Amino acid sequence: MADVALEKNASVGKMWTKEKKIGEGTYATVFEGREVATGRKIAIKKIKLGQFKDGISLDAIREIKFLRELRHENVIELLSVYSAKANINLVLEFCQTDLEYLIKNKTLLFLPGDVKSWMQMTLRGLEFCHRNGVLHRDLKPNNLFITSEGVLKVADFGLAREFGDGSMKMTPEVITTWYRPPELLFGARAYSSSVDIWSVGCIFAELMLRVPFFAGASNLDQLKIMYSAMGSPTEAEWPNLKTLPDYVQLDFVPRKPWHLHFSAASPDAITMLKGFLAYNPNKRVSAKEALLNPYFHTSPYPTHPSKLPLPTPGTGVARILAPELNGQGQKHVLKDKKRKKGVDEDDEEDGEGSGTKKVARKLTFG
């Protein structure tokens, strides 16, 4: 039986060729490659083994698990998985660039319909994840990949996990700081899909401003910048605010009109942004509700993906790096020494990783 599995794994590996390295992180190297039979361009993410207690990082296990389960036009596709020597290789569809590159490239002009299109594709991919009980927990512009046809793909599921009724205990040390919602900054350990929605709001604001909306250097600094931009949350709008584990009282800041920050935004855009960035997580709009917002159904309509701005071919190449090096602003906070052992806070404190370890034993790479 073992020989059959080895033969099958070897045959799968021969279906793909690596051509050139396009990215590298501590735990993974990414290559541009081809499908041998068709010549189709693909990306191969080579994950290095042997640096963790169980042989492979939990980020990699999660990514394999969820990408095998999630198939949607706006979620990056995992084409195959195979092992080779001391590595596991994830074969992914090739993407030309990511949304962060487009935002930073000031030679590209964004029209209102372009922003609508990127937001619509992000929400479609995220709604599919949430409908299937999966939190992404690391949404940010450089985890939103763009194909050469202009289609946006939600990518990097290294911090994703299943969720249910919101009563499960989870670590708050997820989501890159600039895109992390206030309840996680205050240490909440029970949360649901609303944490991803806050990140979407931050991305929406960044698309309109072409710079990050909240760019703090720490959790406390992040809260101060948030309050300065949006005013302080009140107990009337967020009744359980002061019961959160790491709640800190900051100086009160009065509310400011949103149009001071987004002077060119339409009323529908402002309404939707407010729905994403509601302080109270229970009052945030869902991905499904957001897709029904008049913002997407009034002129100018979302630009067709094929007409969206893209960098000149050969620039802005795909970056599918190890999750701990993918990031704008603060990387997600997981102790390096725990990572080396293959343990993150989810395993140690919550048992989040227990289900993942069971998955790891079931994974086959043929």
Q: Rounded to 10 degrees, what is the CA torsion of 312, 208, 266, 264?
A: -100
168-205 b/e with 16+ CB inside 10 Å = b?
bebbbbbbbbbbbbbbbbbebeebbbbbbbbbbbbbbb
Contact 304/116 with Cβ under 8 angstroms? no
Q: In what order do the strands lie in the sheet with 28-35?
A: 16-24, 28-35, 41-48, 87-93, 78-84
Maximum Cα–Cα distance for the chain, whole Å?
Answer: 68
- 89 burial (CB, 10 Å; 0-12 / 13-18 / 19+) is buried
Contact 135/193 with Cβ under 8 angstroms? yes
Contact 88/47 with Cβ under 8 angstroms? yes
Q: In what order do the strands lie in the sheet with 152-154?
A: 97-98, 144-146, 152-154
Q: Any idea which residues carry the catalytic annotation?
A: 138
Contact 159/138 with Cβ under 8 angstroms? yes
